[in-house]
Amino acid sequence: MFGQNVEIRTINLNSVRERNEVDVFLQKQDLILERDVEYTLAMYDEDRIVGTGSISGNVLKCIAIDPEYQGGGFSNKIISLLLNEQYYRGNTHLFIFTKPRNKKLFLDLGFYEITSVDNYVTLLENDPRGLRDFTENLKLQKHEGKVVSSIVMNCNPFTLGHRHLIETASKNSDVVHIFVVWEDRSVFPNEVRYKLIKAGVKHLDNVYVHRGKDYIISNSTFPSYFLKEKNAIVKIHTMLDVKIFGEFIAPALGINRRYVGEEKSDPVTNEYNLTMKELLKDYNIEVVEIPRIKNNEAAISASRVRELLRTDDFESLKQLVPQTTFEFLISDEAKTIIGNIKNDKK
Amino acid sequence: MEIKKVGVAGTVESSDINIVIEPSDKKGIEIELQSTVMKQFGRQIKNLIEETLKSEGVESAVVRATDKGAIDFVIKARALTALYRAAEINEYSWEA
Amino acid sequence: MVKLRRTMMYVTGNNPANIMEAHLYGSDSIMFDLEDSVSLKEKDSARFLVYNALKTMDYGNVETVVRINGLDTQFGRDDLEAMVRAQPDIIRLPKTETKQDIIDVDNMIGEIEKQIGLEVGSTKIMAAVESPLGVMNAYEIATASKRLVAIAIGAEDFVTNMKTTRSPEGIELLAARSNLLMAARAAGIYALDTVYTNIKDDDGFMDEVKLIKQLGFDGKSVIHPRQIGMVHKIYTPTEKEIRNAVRVVGAIKEAESKGSGVIALDGKMIDGPVVDRAYRVLELAKASGVYKEEEQND
């Protein structure tokens, strides 16, 4: 039909061949087709891919147009189709990670800048009131104190290790704000993780638990596709996450300290913690690392708990989680989740 | 007309406008507009969206619009589509 | 005046840029599509857009056609409600197979016309035939309603139903095209040919246009502005055809001025089809810019 000399097709993500074609095209633009994409479009001129874009959760990603086809309104077309797909999926609050040099394109398409990290990455959202509403809402939950601490945690699921971290923070602070990572990529769904944390800290009256929606950037959301900076990716992600935390979230709640679990054995998390420590100085936020507590010579961790669930070892498990979490794990509600853990071969 | 859920219509392609209509707890129609012709026509576009919604009996809504140079009939058509989707109504009384 | 329908350009019903400028490319008709080019999720938005466009835009002398969805769907019935009120020049029905399809839509349109105080029968329709059954019933379809001004062949579905594909020579469509044309001519309505989808193959396109012109089609559906000029060029009459037509029209005028009921040229009587062809040739010549009215006075 008139006006369309290219054809846009939906990629069958189960087809290795189709994924591969898109991936090869993206690599020419210094990107890759990320593993977590849920929906991918490609624009073809005859049988050659000349543009593509994808969706993952509430993020638009892996978007690229062949340089020869730029300026023809094709990127608007691809982004329009991705936006429509998102709306049909019920996702209306959307995000894009892009290179700062490309942000103009998205600013012209109804996106608004949240923040940028140097020349590396810009985060945009499609709601001009998104971040503003989020921080306004946080301000309503502000509690005065000299030491106001914060912990960002996933808790997949909530263990005695997590509780120890929170208790330590609680004892040494006037107020503690917990942000639960909301990205739903863990076996325990976000609402369950949130519920278990709340139940597990009920005895601490200066601890407040928040749903860490949208503006707590977990590393699973952060695109791994900035190929050229592959080695710096953890650092860039941390910089972005910390910048949003320091610029918007901390001031809204008056946060001046952040607690993290010590992570000497995991180089990625260790680097994250080191970078965070460095960067949060600029916002007058102190970072305190708390060593992990142990049980039978091994640190208590959520991954150990999941391992024990796989083998139905509830006796050992009881030593690692608070009573509230344990009760959930033996309830009917947990059966599907435990089933999923057992089915996951990795 | 009552807005029940988020309704969206239109695209961000040239000459089109993307309109998102959401329920609001506040009275009145609040419009956030981004437009390629903001300076000359921003006010006019907002007025047209507001009139279109009001003529359908909408009293409260939050609207987000991204305009790529749409002319009036396009703005009106997109506003109506987004509204009817948001109100989950399929029947429109077409006028001759 | 003879209405020309050499080119009918398809325009996606959900694309504002195209809807706004489609009439500027010089085709005789533009067809806003609510059917195949609009995804199921966007049927409502295309309907609102085309309705508001027809209510607002001035398309000048360009004939406006709207292809609605099949009336076996809710989309189609909603489209009809909206479009009879928006009043394009013609409403096009897809996938017509029997005369009953036409009678049904005739009645439905009549009901709407009554509701809105429009003269019953004033809304014109065009039927697209896209299946072997439709081709077999072409004459019955072509004569099923006074509203019907044209029938068109849609080849993509047809060749699939025929268990074949389209070829450059078009041999697989020959019988269908011929049958449809005869039905149209017998019924005294227009016959329009299908689209040529490869917009990059100019030679193939022009070969096909020459073929369908030779068969006798009034025109062709086009999917891109670049195809319009090519069709018009092929439909431009030759100098000889124009000279002949001018002489025939001169003879008509002479007969009229003498008050004679018999038109004669070079001592031979001229009958209806020749007269019609002469007027048509002159319209084509005028539209192609190779002939002006004044020249008649030479």
Give the pLDDT confidence score for residue A193 in this predicted structure: 95
- Same-domain check for residues C286 and C267: yes
Cis peptide before A157 (omega within 30 of 0): yes
Judge whether A173 and A165 are in contact, CB under 8 Å.
Answer: no
A77 touches chain B (CB under 8 A): yes
What is the extent of the structural domain holding B57? 7-86
Query: 3-state class of C178 per DSSP?
Result: helix
Type of residue at A169: A
- Same-domain check for residues C142 and C275: no
pTM, entire model: 0.84
Among C17, C56, C82, whose Cβ lies nearest the Cβ of B73? C56
User: How many CB pairs below 8 Å do chains B and C form together?
Assistant: 61
Beta bridge partners of B35: B67
Domain membership flag for residue B92: no
In whole angstroms, what is the distance from residue B55 CA to residue A165 CA? 57
Say which CATH number the domain at C224 has.
3.20.20.60
Do C52 and B84 count as a contact with CB atoms less than 8 A apart? no
- Same-domain check for residues C266 and C150: no
A83 touches chain B (CB under 8 A): yes
Q: Which domains does chain A have, with CATH numbers?
A: 7-92 (3.40.630.30), 133-343 (3.40.50.620)
Give the pLDDT confidence score for residue A346 in this predicted structure: 47
Of B81, B89, B90, B93, which to mutate for an interface test with C (greatest number of C Cβ within 10 Å)? B81
- Same-domain check for residues C276 and C171: no
In whole angstroms, what is the distance from residue C133 CA to residue C145 CA? 19
- Same-domain check for residues C93 and C124: yes
Neighbours of C115 (CB within 10 A): 12
Give the pLDDT confidence score for residue A229 in this predicted structure: 55
The set of chains that have 3 or more CB pairs under 8 A with B is: A, C
pLDDT digits (tens, 9 = 90+) for A113-128: 999 988 888 999 999 8
Give the pLDDT confidence score for residue C298 in this predicted structure: 46
Residues in chain A with CB shorter than 8 Å from the CB of C37 are 1
Within chain A, strands assigned E span 7-10, 39-45, 48-56, 59-65, 95-98, 112-117, 121-125, 148-153, 175-181, 207-212, 257-261, 286-290, 294-295, 298-299
Indicate the number of domains in chain C.
Answer: 2
Judge whether C16 and B16 are in contact, CB under 8 Å.
Answer: yes
Nearest chain A CA: its distance from C264 CA (Å):
47
- Same-domain check for residues C62 and C109: yes
Residues with pLDDT less than 50, chain A: 227, 346
Phi-psi region of A227 (alpha: psi -120 to 50; beta: other; left: phi over 0): alpha
Do A1 and C22 count as a contact with CB atoms less than 8 A apart? no
Q: Last residue of a domain, which of C217, C234, C251?
A: C234
Domain membership flag for residue C1: no
Indicate the number of domains in chain B.
Answer: 1
Q: Last residue of a domain, which of C184, C206, C234?
A: C234
Pair of tokens at residue A125 = 């959202």
Do A83 and B13 count as a contact with CB atoms less than 8 A apart? no
pLDDT digits (tens, 9 = 90+) for C70-96: 999 999 999 999 999 999 999 999 999
Do A83 and B36 count as a contact with CB atoms less than 8 A apart? no
Do B95 and C85 count as a contact with CB atoms less than 8 A apart? yes
- Same-domain check for residues C61 and C134: yes
- Same-domain check for residues C191 and C260: no
Domain membership flag for residue C2: no
Give the pLDDT confidence score for residue A219 in this predicted structure: 65
Residues in chain B with CB shorter than 8 Å from the CB of C15 are 13, 16
Alpha helices in chain C (DSSP H): 16-21, 43-56, 74-86, 99-115, 132-136, 138-142, 155-161, 174-187, 202-215, 226-234, 239-258, 272-287
Nearest chain B CA: its distance from A204 CA (Å):
34
Domain membership flag for residue B91: no
Judge whether A275 and A235 are in contact, CB under 8 Å.
Answer: yes
Neighbours of C42 (CB within 10 A): 19
Nearest chain A CA: its distance from C22 CA (Å):
9
Among C49, C78, C87, whose Cβ lies nearest the Cβ of B77? C49
Domain membership flag for residue C147: yes
- Same-domain check for residues C265 and C215: no
Give the pLDDT confidence score for residue C9 in this predicted structure: 96
Residues 209-238 of C with CB under 8 A from A: 222-225
Interface confidence, given as ipTM, is 0.96
In whole angstroms, what is the distance from residue A25 CA to residue A346 CA? 30
In whole angstroms, what is the distance from residue C44 CA to residue C79 CA? 9
Q: Rounded to 5 degrees, what angle do the CA atoms A337, A339, A341 make?
A: 75
- Same-domain check for residues C155 and C222: yes
What is the extent of the structural domain holding C286? 239-297
Q: Last residue of a domain, which of C234, C258, C277?
A: C234
Residues in chain C with CB shorter than 8 Å from the CB of A88 are 41
Nearest chain A CA: its distance from B34 CA (Å):
6
Residues with pLDDT less than 50, chain C: 298
In whole angstroms, what is the distance from residue A110 CA to residue C59 CA? 31
A314 touches chain B (CB under 8 A): no
- Same-domain check for residues C176 and C103: yes
Q: Rounded to 5 degrees, what angle do the CA atoms A81, A82, A86 make?
A: 115
C73 touches chain A (CB under 8 A): no
- Same-domain check for residues C42 and C88: yes
Please give the residue of chain B at the shortest CA–CA distance from A128: B32
Nearest chain B CA: its distance from C269 CA (Å):
49
Please give the residue of chain C at the shortest CA–CA distance from B83: C45
Please give the residue of chain C at the shortest CA–CA distance from A1: C223
Beta bridge partners of A39: A55
Do C225 and A84 count as a contact with CB atoms less than 8 A apart? no
Q: Which residues contact A54 (CB under 8 A, 6 or more apart)?
A: A33, A34, A37, A38, A39, A40, A41, A60, A61, A62, A63, A82
A110 touches chain B (CB under 8 A): yes
